[in-house]
């Protein structure tokens, strides 16, 4: 079960976006596993994709199509990643684009394909093609919740959120869904995210808004340090609200960017809350570093430490594991006497060793919580970074050991 699991909130429709979901039988019979997202004409779209060198066939094609045409349809399947499938995988992904275009009355290069699931297995083209008409027939502006379920793999809960803001007396809606649970360490997590707003932005500003949101959300989470072959995040702006085209130097642009970032951060945290076998949500804050990169590197060193993560699972205040991770993070000219480490507001390390006021009981009280913050103050600069991670449980090993069975 996810940490702090809650029901899927109300997902408000975004004018200009319709979603349809079908059970194509890709891996399991009767399971929602195929989603279509249909966009009205003149909807602006921007995307970021995995940096994995073995990126999946749909990633290659979606990148290409997004660079040359305005997307009209997004098609997402679960149960098969179509990664490591060579020329046949590319041909299959193109066939899905062509079939989706025929249903929607658009061109094949106006379709963006996305896949998630097992890597290296032949793509179930026949099942996907057979399921597309059902997904198309199900298209609805109220299809967000079904789509949130239809993109899941090992996830234990759907992930979605809606936010409404007011800009210049006009109501703006932002709605997003995501999937991800394991193989999470984005470089742009396995994660997919789709966010839409009815605001109006140019392609360039939309891309800038997306990059800013992703950098401070999906690029700040890790479950296991593994970057997927299929990661993608798409932001769509339909321009259907009453608000005129947003300009970059306006307060409206900053307000919209902040709201999109809030949506992305909520979805990113939901992925960590649902990390495979996770029992704790852990925030790692590194402050007063000499550079942002130094802070990020240190945060990820702690987040990726199996010893730290297993201590978190055991609710064991074994602060020596955190101390050792800090010490091996590669910080140059490191003055260990100038730094301090906290569990929530409990100081566990200062002046190069155990904090004078620290007690095992105070550390245990923090470690018993479901949500914990580890803070490291380097005392050597003005830069900060924050990363979200989870613990490493027995279930993580079981889930991934049995993934293909």
Q: What is the 3-state secondary structure (H, E, C) of the chain?
A: CCCCCCCCCCCCCCCCEEEEEECCCCCCCCCCCEEEEEECCCCEEEEEECCCCCCCHHHHHHHHHHHHCCCCEEEEEEEECCCCCHHHHHHHHHHHHHHHHHHHCCCHHHEEEEEEEECCCCCCHHHHHHHHHHHHHCCECCCHHHHHHHCCCCCCCCEEEEEEEEECCEEEEEEEEEECCCCCCCCCCCCEEEEEECCCCCHHHHHHHHHHHHHCCHHHECCCCCCCCCCEEEEEECCCCCCCCCCCCCHHHHHHHHHHHHHHHHHHHHHHHCCCCCCCEEEEEEEEECCHHHHHHHHHHHHCCHHHHHHHHCCCCCHHHHHHHHHCCCCCCCCHHHCEEEECCEEEEECCEECCCCCHHHHHHHHCCCEEEEEEECCCCCEEEEEEEECCCHHHHHHHHCCCC
Q: Do 229 and 293 belong together in one domain?
A: no
Last residue of a domain, one of 240, 273, 306: 273
Last residue of a domain, one of 273, 299, 317: 273
Q: Do 257 and 143 belong together in one domain?
A: yes
CATH code of the domain covering residue 371: 3.10.20.340
Q: Do 134 and 265 belong together in one domain?
A: yes
Burial class (CB in 10 A: 0-12, 13-18, 19+), 382: exposed
Look at residue 331 and tell me if it is in a domain.
Answer: yes
- Give me the catalytic one of 154, 190, 283, 301: 190
- Rounded to an integer, what distance in angstroms lies between the CA atom of residue 209 and that of residue 254? 9
166 is catalytic: no
Look at residue 7 and tell me if it is in a domain.
Answer: no
Look at residue 99 and tell me if it is in a domain.
Answer: yes
Q: Do 202 and 328 belong together in one domain?
A: no
Nearest to 274 by CA among 160, 179, 175: 179
To which H or E segment does residue 236 belong?
strand 232-237
Look at residue 35 and tell me if it is in a domain.
Answer: yes
Tokens of 156: 């234990």
Q: Do 261 and 347 belong together in one domain?
A: no
Q: Do 58 and 150 belong together in one domain?
A: yes
pLDDT of residue 189: 43
Last residue of a domain, one of 243, 273, 303: 273
Q: Do 396 and 263 belong together in one domain?
A: no
Q: Do 119 and 199 belong together in one domain?
A: yes
Look at residue 2 and tell me if it is in a domain.
Answer: no
Which residues are 347's β-sheet partners?
342
Look at residue 11 and tell me if it is in a domain.
Answer: no
Look at residue 136 and tell me if it is in a domain.
Answer: yes
- Rounded to an integer, what distance in angstroms lies between the CA atom of residue 398 and that of residue 303? 20
- Residue 42's CB is within 10 A of a number of other CB atoms, namely 12
CATH code of the domain covering residue 192: 3.60.70.12
Q: Do 224 and 324 belong together in one domain?
A: no
Q: pLDDT 10s per residue in the chain (405 long)? A: 688 867 899 999 999 999 999 999 998 999 999 999 999 999 999 999 988 888 999 999 999 999 999 999 999 999 999 999 999 999 999 999 999 999 999 999 999 999 999 899 999 999 999 999 999 999 999 999 999 999 998 888 999 999 999 999 999 999 999 998 766 675 654 589 999 999 999 999 999 999 999 999 999 998 877 778 888 999 999 999 999 999 998 899 999 999 999 999 999 999 999 888 889 999 999 999 999 999 999 999 999 999 999 999 999 999 999 999 999 999 999 999 999 999 999 999 999 999 999 999 999 999 999 999 999 999 999 999 999 999 998 888 887 888 776
- Residue 140's CB is within 10 A of a number of other CB atoms, namely 15
- Rounded to an integer, what distance in angstroms lies between the CA atom of residue 113 and that of residue 60? 9
- Rounded to an integer, what distance in angstroms lies between the CA atom of residue 371 and that of residue 68? 44
* Domain count of the fold of the chain: 2
Q: Do 204 and 298 belong together in one domain?
A: no
Q: Do 335 and 289 belong together in one domain?
A: yes
Burial class (CB in 10 A: 0-12, 13-18, 19+), 35: buried
Q: Do 84 and 230 belong together in one domain?
A: yes
Look at residue 77 and tell me if it is in a domain.
Answer: yes
Tokens of 83: 């990664």
Rounded to two decimals, the pTM is 0.94
DSSP secondary structure string for all residues of 254-306: HHHHHHHHHHHHHHHHHHHHTSTT---EEEEEEEEESSHHHHHHHHHHHHT-H
Q: Domain range holding 215?
A: 17-273
């Amino acid at each position: 079960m996810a940490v702090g699991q809650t029901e899927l909130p109300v997902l408000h429709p975004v004018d200009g976006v319709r979603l349809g979901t079908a059970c194509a039988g890709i891996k399991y019979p009767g399971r929602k596993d195929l989603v279509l997202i249909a966009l009205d004409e003149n909807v602006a779209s921007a995307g970021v994709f995995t940096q994995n060198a073995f990126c999946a066939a749909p990633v290659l094609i979606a990148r290409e199509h997004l660079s040359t045409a305005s997307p009209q349809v997004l098609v997402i399947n679960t149960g098969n990643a179509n990664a490591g499938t060579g020329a046949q995988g590319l041909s299959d992904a193109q066939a899905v684009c062509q079939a989706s275009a025929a249903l929607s009355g658009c061109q094949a290069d106006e379709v963006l394909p996305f896949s998630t699931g097992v890597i290296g297995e032949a793509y179930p083209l026949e099942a996907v093609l057979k399921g597309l008409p059902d997904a198309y027939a199900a298209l609805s502006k109220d299809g967000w919740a079904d789509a949130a379920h239809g993109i899941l793999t090992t996830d234990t809960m759907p992930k979605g959120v809606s936010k409404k803001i007011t800009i210049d007396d006009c109501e703006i809606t932002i709605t997003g869904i995501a999937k991800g649970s394991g193989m999470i360490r984005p470089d742009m997590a396995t994660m997919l995210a789709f966010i839409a707003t009815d605001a109006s932005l140019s392609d360039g500003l939309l891309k800038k808004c997306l990059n800013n949101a992703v950098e401070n959300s999906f690029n700040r989470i890790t479950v296991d340090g593994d970057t997927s072959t299929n990661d993608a995040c798409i932001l769509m702006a339909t321009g259907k609200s009453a608000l005129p085209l947003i300009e970059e130097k306006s307060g409206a642009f900053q307000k919209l960017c902040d709201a999109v970032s809030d949506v992305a951060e909520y979805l990113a945290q939901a992925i960590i809350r649902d990390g495979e076998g996770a029992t704790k949500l852990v925030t790692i804050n590194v402050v007063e570093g000499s550079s942002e990169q130094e802070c990020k590197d240190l945060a990820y060193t702690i987040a990726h430490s199996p010893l730290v993560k297993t201590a978190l699972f055991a609710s064991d205040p074994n602060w020596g594991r955190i101390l050792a991770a800090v010490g091996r993070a590669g910080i140059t000219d490191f003055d260990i006497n100038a730094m301090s480490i906290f569990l929530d507001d409990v100081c566990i390390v200062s002046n190069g060793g155990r904090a004078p006021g620290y007690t095992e009981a105070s550390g245990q009280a923090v470690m018993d919580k479901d949500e914990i913050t580890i803070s490291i103050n380097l005392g050597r600069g003005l830069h900060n970074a924050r990363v979200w991670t989870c613990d490493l449980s027995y279930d993580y090993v079981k889930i991934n050991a049995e993934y293909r069975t």
